[in-house]
Amino acid sequence: MRYLRRASCVVLSALTFLLGDAVFPVRLSSVSAAEYGRPNIVMILVDDLGYGDLRYMGAPDLKSPSLDTLAARGIKFSNFYANCPVCSPTRAALLTGRYQALVGVPGVVRTHAENNWGYLSESATLLPLVLKPAGYHTAIIGKWHLGLDSPNTPMDRGFDHLHGFLGDMMDDYYNHRRHGINYMYHDRTEIDPKGHATDLFTQWAIDYVTSREADQPYFMYLAYNAPHTPIQPPPEWIAKVKARESGITDQRASLVALIEHMDDGIGKVLSTIEQRTEAGGRPTIVLFSSDNGGQIEVGANNGPLRDGKQSVYQGGLKVPTCAASYGSELIKAGSSTSFQAMTMDLFPTICEFAGATIDHPIEGRSIVPTLLGKKQDKLRDHWFFTRREGGTRYQGKTIDAVIRGPWKLLQNSPFEPLELYNLDTDPKETTDLAQKNRGIFNELSVELHKQLQREGAVPWQKP
């Protein structure tokens, strides 16, 4: 453990966030960072991966040896939530440690103003700016999706290095355009590389890892476009799946192939990390999650959960998540937990591992104790989920959910009544209890009302 040394994450245990008439206490972890000082940290975020679309999460027709190995090497979560059932908001939550609407991203950031539902607040503090004073070099490889031009590009918001795609989705995994526009960049320079986006992001991640010197820790945010639409894996991967899985539909085979191709790329990155640590490099923490649930319309498997991407039912919000350590035994192999956490909690978690100071209000809470196998109190009483969207289905309004204990109140359409479910007795959300439990319904309605008022104080359109 050549580079291990004792460190402590500097946290604020009694921050208070004041917005309008609402006061939030912000309680961050105070667990001592014993013997894990300043490891490299890698955050892998994939796009639209279903809760049941990895072999270790129960997929019967899919092989994911790389992510299965990552999960087995460390800890896997069964009760981890994305902040939102679509892309940009969850990414905003990850990089700010805040509820996405409180940093101006309640919906998807898109190319055209009339279909854009988010603008990352210029006052928001992003993760690389917090890590920099702790001595970290920071990089984003892959998908950004929080702004298409200055001041909302990765380099403007604190990253030292960018090799990836600024936009939302690619219309083609090989030409990397969106609406005919090239959003692929290397730092501040537009580039036009050849090859499948998954392969490019994998190689760029490997290049970054191998370029780093051991005397400076790094944070790498590796964000794959896969398995987002278009479902476009390399043809040889489809052939492999069809040869193995008799009776599989063409649609499902294509999605499985896209996920397996991505898993293979992640495996190459993890192998590089392992080789570097074994050669005497700095220990590395690897975190993995998805930005939202899988898209049912293209064949995703969300396991036993209701619905999928775009929805505030469980299938849109619960995501496969795991973490492991390389070059150290900080995270115990073969661990699993039902501890409840969400995307914005990864921000203070990363900061605690890095020994970074958080001196501004956030809603995220560190889960380092859980990762280290220690007992941890619940992170919050109320868990809020919000998405704003346009079109005739939403008309610029929000869909929302709040969870308290076993109870979940949600409105999955702005034009339908609120629904109430008990997730302990009805995890598939089949029986609406709104009329039978008016007390719980009214209490959660008040909390959701308050949260929507807080969110309404932050503009989400470009000034």
The DSSP line for 418-461 is -EEEETTT-TT--S--TTT-HHHHHHHHHHHHHHHHHHHTS--S
The amino acid that residue 70 corresponds to is L
DSSP-derived 3-state class of residue 255: helix
CATH number of the domain to which 146 belongs: 3.40.720.10
DSSP-derived 3-state class of residue 42: strand
Q: Read off φ and ψ for residue 15, nearest 5 degrees.
A: -65, 150
383-388 sheet: strands from edge to edge: 383-388, 398-404, 407-411, 419-422
Q: Count of H helices and E strands in the chain?
A: 11, 20
Residues near 78 by beta carbon (within 8 Å), at least 6 away in sequence = 336, 337, 338
* Shared-domain flag, residues 308 and 438: no
Any domain includes 437 = yes
* Shared-domain flag, residues 360 and 308: yes
Any domain includes 376 = no
- Of 84, 137, 145, 163, the catalytic one is 145
Any domain includes 377 = no
* Shared-domain flag, residues 170 and 134: yes
The Cα-based distances of 188 to 159, 165, 381, 463 in angstroms read 11, 11, 42, 23
Q: Read off φ and ψ for residue 280, nearest 5 degrees.
A: 100, 10
* Shared-domain flag, residues 124 and 34: yes
Domain of residue 190 covers: 15-371
Place of tokens 């503090």: 125
For residue 392, the model assigns a pLDDT of: 96
The Cα-based distances of 128 to 283, 313, 351, 394 in angstroms read 19, 32, 10, 34
* Shared-domain flag, residues 208 and 260: yes
* Shared-domain flag, residues 222 and 313: yes
* Shared-domain flag, residues 436 and 361: no
Residue that is last in its domain, among 371, 402, 437: 371
DSSP string, 382-413: -EEEEEE--HHHHTT-EEEEEEETTEEEEESS
For residue 463, the model assigns a pLDDT of: 84
Place of tokens 């014993």: 34
Any domain includes 413 = yes
Provide the whole-model pTM: 0.94
- Of 87, 137, 196, 322, the catalytic one is 87
For residue 133, the model assigns a pLDDT of: 96
Rg of the chain in Å (alpha carbons): 21
* Shared-domain flag, residues 147 and 167: yes
The Cα-based distances of 335 to 49, 174, 235, 457 in angstroms read 22, 38, 36, 41
CA–CA separation, 222 and 41 (whole Å): 11
* Shared-domain flag, residues 424 and 356: no
Per the rule left: phi > 0, alpha: psi between -120 and 50, beta: everything else, 198 is alpha
CA–CA separation, 171 and 166 (whole Å): 13
Any domain includes 427 = yes
CATH number of the domain to which 402 belongs: 3.30.1120.10
Instruction: Tell me if residue 112 is catalytic.
Output: no
Parallel, antiparallel, or unpaired: how do β-strands 181-182 and 177-178 relate? antiparallel
Parallel, antiparallel, or unpaired: how do β-strands 335-337 and 75-77 relate? parallel
For 287-339, the pLDDT digits (tens) are 999 999 999 999 999 999 999 999 999 999 999 999 999 999 999 999 999 99
Cα 418 off chain centre by: 27
Cα 328 off chain centre by: 24
* Shared-domain flag, residues 409 and 363: no
Any domain includes 364 = yes
Any domain includes 8 = no
State the DSSP code for 107.
B
Reported for 207-211, long-range contacts at CB under 8 A and 24+ positions apart, including other chains, are: 207/163, 208/139, 208/141, 208/161, 208/163, 209/269, 209/272, 209/273, 209/276, 210/272, 210/276
Supply 192's token pair. Answer: 């036009």
Domains identified in the chain, total number = 2
* Shared-domain flag, residues 237 and 158: yes
Nearest to 370 by CA among 67, 90, 39, 29: 29
* Shared-domain flag, residues 315 and 414: no
Average pLDDT of the chain?
A: 93
Residue that is last in its domain, among 371, 396, 411: 371
In sequence order, the β-bridge partners of residue 400 are 386, 411
Instruction: Tell me if residue 87 is catalytic.
Output: yes
What's the half-sphere exposure (Cβ side, CA atoms, 13 Å) at 32?
A: 4
Which residue numbers in the chain have pLDDT < 70? 1-36
Residue that is last in its domain, among 315, 350, 371: 371
Any domain includes 45 = yes
